[in-house]
Chains A and B, each alone.
Chain A
Amino acid sequence: MANTNHKNGADKHPMGSDYSVKVQKLMNEAEYLEDGLMRLNLGPSHPATHGILQNIIDLEGETIIRARPVIGYVHRTFEKLGEKYTYNQFLNCTDRMNYVSSPMNNIAWIIAVEEMMGLKVPARAQAVRTIINELSRISDHIICNSVLGVDLGAFTGLLYLYHYREMFNTILEKMTGARLTTTFTRVGGLEMDIYDGFAKDVKEFLREFPKILKDFEGLLIHNRIFIDRTRGIGAIDTETALSYGYTGPNLRATGYNYDVRKAYPYLMYDQVKFDIPVGTDGSVYDRFLVRNEEMYQSMKIVEQLIDNIPDGPIRVDDYHYALPPKEDVYGKMEELIYHFKIVMHGIQAPPGEYYSAAEVANGEMGFYIVSDGGKSPYRVHVRRPCFWYYQSFPELVEGGLIADLVAIMSSLNVIAGELDG
């Protein structure tokens, strides 16, 4: 960066005629602004920011007077790629949006496409999708809560909980072949049936996880230091939050009960009983508690479903949209032709536009699909929850300390892959 502070003896004045633009000078001090504030760059690569995010903050001592987030470092042009890929190929892009809980993004995209095409998916596929959806939600909240502890200095919680995230990753690997970018489900149903030990693995997770979650809570919830650092910090009221477009646990922590699973039910959420935890003042402490309680509610949903997975087909019966079983493709004529048409010409969507949303771990993830009747969409727009609530970050942070900035950013659960998209 060019050294614009010539008080500490730079060789040449930047405005002088002998100052070469091609010379790079190392910044030895932070830049001082005209009003005496210090400009600090919490730069894109920083151990306390989650992902590649930049914040330019103007400080007076340790108090933040102005903050400005700069995003776009992980922009991977998903919306432009959506115009080239088919409906099943775009699933690979959705993996990489919220990479901490990728089955949830996959499911959000697939239900939007299936509703647009008017498909009715069999119950077995819906049950398995719901189970994996809730287990992914637990996995995402494990990361958010334990990393909030790490950012404040409490490292042990992360080590306790990560083992269970590893258990879930093993289940995903046995189901889909991948631990992180799962590309789970296809249009019309699942890509393959669940493996033989699925119910046993999930029940082992449900048996062991609550005990360790209790230990984790014991480390943090009534801890004096944790309470002092998080209670009342980064508080926001419901009306401002709704004006910014907050959804998900961040909105529920302010006291407003909005969850896409209850308001516009999808998958099997209208057939299971669960509660929605709600906070009071939207501070870091409340967000932590809301996410913690959501993990218990997710386990409750999985317990209701894991023993009663219905039998039946895993894909919709219409071979215009889902691949026929392989034995039939090798033996019968029509199935061979359907397979060829789907693989070579893609799934044709009806022309028109459609918007549908699902509840991912951070809130409402919606997909606005415009189709002109072809194998690829004409336009795909992803409504990313992180993008809408991260706009409020300057308002939450200004007037506080740098230490509070770290806690607030960590509790908002900003995932860079979803933010830039």
Chain B
Amino acid sequence: MRGLKPEQNTKIWEKLGKKFPASCLNIEENRGILVLNADISCSYDLMKYLKEDAECRYNVLMDLTAVDYLNKRPAAERFEVVYMLMSTETMHRVRVKVKAGDGVKVPTVVTLWKGANWPEREVYDLFGIEFSGHPLMERLIMPDEYRGHPLRKDFPLEGIGEDYLIESILLKGEMKK
């Protein structure tokens, strides 16, 4: 992101380096923005600290998404959930990345930011990553009866043939609550 101050980056780097051990948090700077690679075990604590600590105060969750690194990384680190945080006091931004394998559940941040509700559902819908503690972990964009997770790298762009969807719409008829 353009317009971020390097001295703020250094300040937050030092602060976080003291608070979180290197085993669960690996900090680097990438094209001007601080990237915090967190382990799943401490990701919720890190996000809570970033939101509530007096010098950090990253009170806005700007973006929540995931990337699939199939065949580029070991299977235990296949998915990476990416969070973009912004502080309204300093206008500083930080990127947090959490690695997860297939089937691993990532702690939800809905309790910290209400706006994480739908983006986490979208990540579940399109990638299959479940978030533990989410109030309603269901598909959001794709139809409810859809099979497969479209944005994964092993899901073809052309689709896998969706005749089963048409039958269910015509015959089933009842709207789910």
Q: Show the binding face of A for B, using Cβ within 8 Å.
A: 1-2, 4, 21-22, 24, 41, 56, 71-72, 75, 77, 79-81, 83-84, 115, 240, 242-245, 256, 258, 263-266, 352-357, 364, 366, 368, 370, 372, 378-379, 381, 383, 387-388, 390-392, 420
Given A240-B114, A242-B88, A258-B88, the answer on whether A263 and B3 have CB atoms closer than 8 Å is yes
Chain A residue at smallest Cβ distance from B91: A263
Q: Chain B 36-70, CB within 8 Å of chain A: the 1/0 string?
A: 00000000000000000000000111110101100
Q: Is the CB of B151 within 8 A of A79?
A: yes
Q: Using Cβ atoms and an 8 Å threshold, which residues of chain B touch A41?
A: 175
Q: Using Cβ atoms and an 8 Å threshold, which residues of chain A touch B140?
A: 71-72
Question: Which residue from B60, B63, B95, B171 sits with its C-beta under 8 Å from A22?
Answer: B171
Q: Using Cβ atoms and an 8 Å threshold, which residues of chain A touch B88?
A: 242, 256, 258
5 A-B Cβ contacts within 8 A? A244-B114, A244-B115, A256-B88, A356-B1, A357-B62
CB distance from B1 to the nearest CB of A (A): 6
Q: Using Cβ atoms and an 8 Å threshold, which residues of chain A touch B151?
A: 79-80
Chain A residue at smallest Cβ distance from B68: A379
Q: Is the CB of B119 within 8 A of A84?
A: no
Q: Is the CB of B2 within 8 A of A379?
A: no
Q: Is the CB of B65 within 8 A of A364?
A: no
Q: Which 5 A-B pairs have the closest CB atoms?
A: A245-B115, A72-B141, A264-B3, A244-B115, A381-B65
Measured in the bound complex, the distance between the Cα atoms of B158 and A40 in whole Å is 36
B157 contacts the other chain (CB 8 A): yes
Q: Is the CB of A4 within 8 A of B3?
A: no
Q: Is the CB of A4 within 8 A of B2?
A: no
Q: Is the CB of A355 within 8 A of B171?
A: no
Given A115-B2, A245-B115, A420-B141, the answer on whether A370 and B62 have CB atoms closer than 8 Å is no
Given A71-B141, A72-B143, A81-B157, the answer on whether A387 and B118 have CB atoms closer than 8 Å is yes
Q: Is the CB of A355 within 8 A of B33?
A: yes
Measured in the bound complex, the distance between the Cα atoms of B93 and A263 in whole Å is 12
Given A75-B141, A366-B62, A368-B65, the answer on whether A391 and B118 have CB atoms closer than 8 Å is yes
Q: Is the CB of A352 within 8 A of B63?
A: no
Q: Show the binding face of B for A, using Cβ within 8 Å.
A: 1-3, 30-31, 33, 59-63, 65, 67-68, 72, 82, 84, 88, 91, 95, 113-115, 117-119, 122, 126, 140-143, 150-151, 157, 170-175
Question: Which residue from B60, B63, B174 sits with its C-beta under 8 Å from A366?
Answer: B63
A-B contacts, CB under 8 A, total: 106
Measured in the bound complex, the distance between the Cα atoms of B113 and A1 in whole Å is 37
Q: Using Cβ atoms and an 8 Å threshold, which residues of chain A touch B143?
A: 72
Q: Using Cβ atoms and an 8 Å threshold, which residues of chain B touch A258?
A: 88
Q: Using Cβ atoms and an 8 Å threshold, which residues of chain A touch B61?
A: 245
Q: Is the CB of B150 within 8 A of A24?
A: no
CB distance from A23 to the nearest CB of B (A): 9
Q: A1-B173, A2-B174, A240-B114 are in contact. List 17 more A-B contacts (CB 8 A).
A: A21-B171, A24-B173, A80-B151, A81-B157, A245-B62, A258-B88, A263-B3, A355-B63, A356-B2, A368-B65, A372-B72, A379-B67, A383-B63, A383-B65, A388-B118, A391-B114, A391-B115
Chain B residue at smallest Cβ distance from A262: B91
Looking at B33, B68, B114, B126, which has the most chain A CB atoms within 10 Å of its CB? B114
Chain B residue at smallest Cβ distance from A388: B115
Q: Is the CB of A1 within 8 A of B175?
A: yes
Given A80-B150, A370-B67, A391-B114, the answer on whether A242 and B60 have CB atoms closer than 8 Å is yes
Q: Using Cβ atoms and an 8 Å threshold, which residues of chain B touch A21?
A: 171-172
Q: Using Cβ atoms and an 8 Å threshold, which residues of chain B touch A56?
A: 175
Q: Using Cβ atoms and an 8 Å threshold, which residues of chain A touch B95?
A: 355
Measured in the bound complex, the distance between the Cα atoms of B72 and A77 in whole Å is 23
Q: Using Cβ atoms and an 8 Å threshold, which residues of chain B touch A4?
A: 174
CB distance from B133 to the nearest CB of A (A): 17
Q: Is the CB of B150 within 8 A of A77?
A: yes
Measured in the bound complex, the distance between the Cα atoms of B19 and A75 in whole Å is 42
Q: Is the CB of B142 within 8 A of A72?
A: yes
CB distance from A38 to the nearest CB of B (A): 14
Measured in the bound complex, the distance between the Cα atoms of B95 and A352 in whole Å is 14
Q: Using Cβ atoms and an 8 Å threshold, which residues of chain B touch A77?
A: 150, 157
Q: Using Cβ atoms and an 8 Å threshold, which residues of chain B touch A357?
A: 1, 62
CB distance from A50 to the nearest CB of B (A): 18
Chain A residue at smallest Cβ distance from B97: A353
Chain B residue at smallest Cβ distance from A77: B150
Q: Using Cβ atoms and an 8 Å threshold, which residues of chain A touch B62?
A: 245, 357, 364, 366, 383
Chain A residue at smallest Cβ distance from B63: A383
Q: Using Cβ atoms and an 8 Å threshold, which residues of chain B touch A71?
A: 140-141
Given A379-B67, A381-B63, A391-B118, the answer on whether A264 and B2 have CB atoms closer than 8 Å is yes
Q: Using Cβ atoms and an 8 Å threshold, which residues of chain B touch A80?
A: 150-151, 157
Measured in the bound complex, the distance between the Cα atoms of B20 and A8 in whole Å is 65
Q: Is the CB of B1 within 8 A of A243?
A: no
Chain B residue at smallest Cβ distance from A391: B118
Given A242-B60, A263-B3, A366-B63, the answer on whether A352 and B117 have CB atoms closer than 8 Å is no
Measured in the bound complex, the distance between the Cα atoms of B151 and A256 in whole Å is 35
